[in-house]
Structures are given as structure tokens and as C-alpha cells.
Amino acid sequence: MHLNPSTNGALRILMICQKNQGRPVTMPEMSRDLGLTESLVVKSCHELMRAGYIRGRRGNGGGYRLARPAEAIDVMEIVELFEGEENLFPCRLRQEEQCRIVAACRLRKACERAYDAFKAELKGWSVADIAAEA
């Protein structure tokens, strides 16, 4: 299993917005502090804004803030927004006729169980939880 860079970036962007407690965070600040490329920050912020997780303001004093309380943003929601289920477990084919060994393959069943466990674990975590100090 592997999260794509946009998913990782989006989760980190939400975390830095939470840690700044309402102070707008600029894209250059995110890129510098999170070690992400500007293009990844732009792409992730755009998608997070489109989905209503952050809001942005241009100009002097502008930047990005959470649009919802961090406690109300489920980590799995973000993963599902940025990842297709097929990206996490590619052998979970929607169209079984594409796989020649589907009838005999136990890997698919194991991946289904692993994905269900992955979802169940992340569903219990909010952005507030992952942004909390250790």
C-alpha cells in the first residue's frame, strides 16, 4: 500500500493549518515548512478548497485556513478524496473478466480484508488527532 504524494501533501497541509490555529498559512510557507513542491501544494490546496476542507484568501494577510473544525475532518475522508480504491490495492478489480486467475486468486480476498482494516483504523482518526503534539 502506498499513498500518493497529493494525499500525503493534503494531510500535511491540513495539519499545518490546524497547528496555526486560525492564522492563514501561505503556499510558500507550506512548501518550505512541509518540504513539498509548490506545484504539489497548489494542487492539494485546490482540491481541499473544492471539497470544502480549507478556505483561502488572496492578498495581504491572505493564506489558507481550515474551513471546518479539525475534529470534524476524518483522515479517511481525505484519503478517499485523493486516492482511488484501485490505487491503494490495484488487484481489487472492478471488472473480474480482466483478471485471468480471479477464480483461484486468494490475494484479492487478502487485499479486501487489508483495505477494510486500513479504512477502519483511519476512520477513527481526525485531523486534530494527527496534528496533536506527541
Average pLDDT, the chain: 86
Name residues whose C-beta falls within 8 Å of residue 73's C-beta, 6 or more positions apart in sequence. 14, 53, 66, 126, 127, 128
Instruction: Note the pTM of the prediction, 2 decimals.
Output: 0.83
Give residue 134's pLDDT band: very low, low, confident or very high (50, 70, 90): low
For residue 88, the model assigns a pLDDT of 61
Reported as a single tens digit per residue, the pLDDT across 17-74 is 999 988 999 999 999 999 999 999 999 999 999 999 999 998 888 899 999 999 999 9
* Grid cell locating 25: 498559512
Name residues whose C-beta falls within 8 Å of residue 47's C-beta, 6 or more positions apart in sequence. 6, 10, 81, 82
